[in-house]
Structure 1
Amino acid sequence: MRYLSLIFPFLIIIGFIFWKYNKKDDKANRINKDGKFIKYGIQWEDSFYDQVPISLDTTIIIDDSNGKPLRFHQYIKPIFNGDAMIFLEKGKWKLQRFTKSAIDSLMNDDFAIARADRYQAYRNPDSSNSVKEKFANIAHRLNMADNILVIKHQRKMYIQRNGKNLLQFNINLGGNPIGHKQYEGDNKTPEGIYHLDTKFTRTDKIYKSFMISYPNKTDRENAVKKGLKPGSSILIHASTVKRKNARDWTNGCIALTNAEMDTLFNHVIEGTRIEIKK
């Protein structure tokens, strides 16, 4: 979907993010002049196991970068200390370690899932000195939804966790909603399995948005075979007052109300899997 009003604000936001991330100060870089990793806030002690709250599900398995499954006692220390963070990739929790090589690899991969979210966690570590607060922050992230299901013909969006519906929203789609998106300007909402990308509050009337990872490799290849552009900037976004009672008014995006976008922001993070069905 193309929004002329979106392009300029979006470029400003992305530019600001990378300007902020690349400021040359020791705290932001988390590597001091001696090449040592800087730590902030209270650091892990094994006695903290006795303070793990009920809200923190210790049965969750998290995969490391090599696909090795890690149990709670293996990942809690690096996460608590700010040496790593957790993110969603294809419906599974993954561990992002904040070693220099891991961060360099992340920044060299333009298609890394939840790339901005992961780098921001590296640059802005949890500096709390409260054990309770640190555990609460970790529990909140692990309690996020892990899947979004969109059924186009129902005009419904289901926010899910462990296969169960947590929330349900009515949605609006593109002006030509039947069928999978084929090319730029066809006003269709894509169908298939994607993930949510950059999450941002906007400076225009649309309020808040999540990017959807359309087009994928197959989408691009299919469009090229037909001599067409696949299109881009497919979003989940809010609605303007003018569109309050309109139906299927977008150019291919998925529209919610402003209040629903606030709720979505509180339950969903970058990297969340989204399945869009006809």
Structure 2
Amino acid sequence: MRAYHRQEGPVAAANCAGHLQTIARPVAAMTATYPNESTSTRHLHRRDQFILQITGVTAMMTERGHFVVPPGHGLWIPAGVVHQSRAWGEVEAQTIYVTPNRERKASDTCRLIRASSLVEALMDEAVRIPEIYDQNGRDGTLIEFLLTEIARMPEVTLHVQVPPDPRLGEICKAVLVDPSSNLTLDHWADKCGLSRRTLTRLFRRETGQSFSGWRQRVRLLEALARLGAGETVTGVALDVGYDSPSAFAAMFKRELGAAPRHYLRWTDQEVALR
């Protein structure tokens, strides 16, 4: 039985993560659980990190954008990227820490993926192998196969970009704190001392989206986190700024291709190779 198989709570997980950065193998792994609404401190790692969500939803703020990680999804965070997590619902996640390797050509950007059943099965094995595993044996082969599969998974877009421009950054932070706010672009233009046209152009240049499109994405992410924590569709729809559950459901299906509850249940329909 490995010494660091399962960590209970953010403090134990953080202590274990620090230890795993020093393991003399290319990959070190752990399973951790986090109580509802628990948060980590802002931190970074010396190794690349891949987090696979098992239960609950994790909201992850990074210096390169804000992500929501539902069950059946995984988030790749490159070494040195500052990030902070918040748990929605009782969260269980499996994590690997990967020594950066130029030959492996791992992504140098944050990537959110929808994990295949194969990736889920390989992660389940990775958290069970010894810390000092045999790199030339079965465990080493399994780890290399896992990294190959993670790299080939298609990226999904359940995130919003936080622009580096400090004026836009303040607007984005305010929306992230209160996604239900209906303050207009004219309001923010006045607050920033810019014309509406200039602010519109800046926002699209920095984020690739209009302000309204960016805010809708924030509301979608907030809704995913709350739905994953077990809140009702009606309550979530009203809390994130929609006038009715039907309007919210229409937006959700348009963006993600499924009704709110069906989307979060979809991963349970796959048969894991375990």
Instruction: Say yes or no: TM over 0.5.
Output: no
Q: Which protein has the bigger helix share?
A: 2
Q: State TM-score, norm by structure 2.
A: 0.28
Larger RCO, structures 1/2 (Cα 8 Å, 6+ apart): 1
